[in-house]
Amino acid sequence: MKKLIKNVNLFDGKNESVSEHQNIVITDHLVTDIFTGDFSEESFDEVTDGKNQYAIPGLTDAHVHLGKTHIDGATPSYDAIVGSVVAGKLLEHGITTVRDAGSVTDGLKRAIDEGVIPGPRIYPSMNYLSQTCGHGDSESAHYNRDIQYRNPRGGVLCDGVAECRRAVREQFFLGASQIKIMAGGGMSSECDPVETLQFSEEEMRAITETAADYGSYVMAHLYTPACIQRAVRAGVKSLEHGHWIDEETAKLIRDTGVFLNPCPQFTLEEIRWNHMGEFSDQPSQRKKKKKPGGEKVKEHIDETTDLINKYDLKILFGTDLMIMYNGYEPRASLDFTVYKKRFGSFRGLLAATGNFNDITKLTTYQNPYPDGEIGLLKKGSYADIVITNGNPVKDLDVLGDTENILFVMKDGKVYKNKL
């Protein structure tokens, strides 16, 4: 089927300049041409008038947990149902691709890919890997230590080189496109202060080498300079959170060319904790799990932002979406406003488009979506197209209000049209 979107101003996902009065040709699920000038509408099966609004690549979220709720008493089947609801809402908001940072998404991904339910493309990590007494440890993880390799709920424990290699291989067996590890302490977990270094360099190197053997890469949860430096030395390619960066660490990130995903989680921290409390039978006890380390990390946010901008570090857009909100509403729009304040409109938008395209290349033959480019709007890209009321390249606050998302196409199919 051949479709045309006419009369749009186009951001290609890479260049800051916007091309005016463009026409986009979609054949089946790919963009096959972009042109200006005259044409015959009779040549197309379907024509959409973009009304001189702004066409951008389908947006991406590089850090979600779409297959696991953080709600007391939830079962895997409940998680899957709620995850499917949130997936549909993400698509309505213009998020056409996500990278899952640790949860059970095999069934959800399949249902979306087969068109059973609406939702974004999913790059799955399956279980995240944690050491004993690490950010992914819990009573449940210990109790199910052996069976969780192939009966996942979101995380597995592994200690020592042999266990780490096996855990990586098991995630690829389950369908992971990349590997997620917990390389440092957390601000909401029970047993690991945020300053903790997790996984020895030998263990971490075994993980990254095994991932490379399978044609892919490792993303790592961490915050502090010591954790980041160990992870980079060991071969980690995507640093998640990283709110506590010093000059030496910023230079290391720049020189090695690794990605940084500075999820703006402090913006929503109180929202998340309050809603976790609402869903808990004992909210006061759950809130006590917050660690003072979080405040220490928060103190370094401004310095980290300045260093990211000073050294032009390659950032991704990630929300750390955890399903715990009232109405299960994704809040990526709020995070776009934070990215504008921290990094500027163009760099913030690039993080959610062209930079994501770059990191998909690291999955090589493990890429679950090899037919087209993701995060770009050009000939040969997937027909994932969002049309906005206003120019987000100049003002990312356009994406801060979902009412400005006028049109969403994914894989050549229109899921929203308010033009």
Using one digit for the tens of pLDDT, what is the confidence trace for 320-373? 987 765 566 777 778 999 999 999 999 999 999 999 999 999 999 999 999 999
Q: How confident is the model at residue 152 (pLDDT cuts 50, 70, 90)?
A: low
> Which of 88-102, 107-121, 292-306, 342-356 is predicted least confidently?
292-306
In order of 190, 295, 405, the CA distances from 284 in angstroms are: 15, 19, 38
Tell the residue number behind the tokens 């690490």, with chain if given: 134
Q: What average pLDDT does range 388-404 have in this prediction? A: 96
Last residue of a domain, one of 304, 323, 343: 343
Tell the residue number behind the tokens 């990312």, with chain if given: 396
Query: Would you tell me how many other CB atoms lie within 10 Å of the CB of residue 379?
Result: 15
For residue 359, is it within any domain? no
For residue 256, is it within any domain? yes
Q: Are residues 260 and 117 in the same domain?
A: yes
pTM: 0.92
Extract the tokens encoding 187. Answer: 């601000």
Contact 111, 401 (CB under 8 A): no
**pLDDT tops 50 at residue 274:** no
Q: What is the CB-side half-sphere exposure of residue 32 using CA atoms within 13 A?
A: 12
**pLDDT tops 50 at residue 276:** no
Nearest to 381 by CA among 6, 11, 7, 8: 11
The CATH number for 46's domain is 2.30.40.10
Q: What average pLDDT does range 79-104 have in this prediction? A: 93
* Number of domains observed in the structure of the chain: 2
- Output the pLDDT for position 357: 98
Q: Are residues 291 and 383 in the same domain?
A: no
- Output the pLDDT for position 326: 54
Q: Are residues 27 and 67 in the same domain?
A: no
- Output the pLDDT for position 279: 35
User: What is the extent of the structural domain holding 49?
Assistant: 2-57+373-417
pLDDT tens-digit profile of 162-184?
Answer: 999 999 999 999 999 999 999 99
pLDDT tens-digit profile of 188-226?
Answer: 667 888 899 999 999 999 999 999 999 999 999 999 999
The CATH number for 97's domain is 3.20.20.140
Q: How confident is the model at residue 246 (pLDDT cuts 50, 70, 90)?
A: very high
- Output the pLDDT for position 395: 98
Q: What average pLDDT does range 265-272 have in this prediction? A: 51
Q: How confident is the model at residue 284 (pLDDT cuts 50, 70, 90)?
A: very low
Tell the residue number behind the tokens 């691709």, with chain if given: 97
- Packing angle, helices 225-234 and 247-256, rounded to 10: 20
Contact 241, 223 (CB under 8 A): yes
Q: What average pLDDT does range 313-317 have in this prediction? A: 98
| Helix, strand or coil, per DSSP, at residue 322 | strand
For residue 361, is it within any domain? no
Tell the residue number behind the tokens 């500027």, with chain if given: 344
In this prediction, what percent of the chain has a pLDDT beyond 70? 87
Average pLDDT of the residues of the chain: 89
- What gap in Å lies between CA 99 and CA 360, rounded to an integer? 10
- Output the pLDDT for position 286: 41
For residue 362, is it within any domain? no
**pLDDT tops 80 at residue 114:** yes
For residue 358, is it within any domain? no
Q: Are residues 149 and 181 in the same domain?
A: yes
Q: Are residues 188 and 48 in the same domain?
A: no
Q: How confident is the model at residue 271 (pLDDT cuts 50, 70, 90)?
A: very low
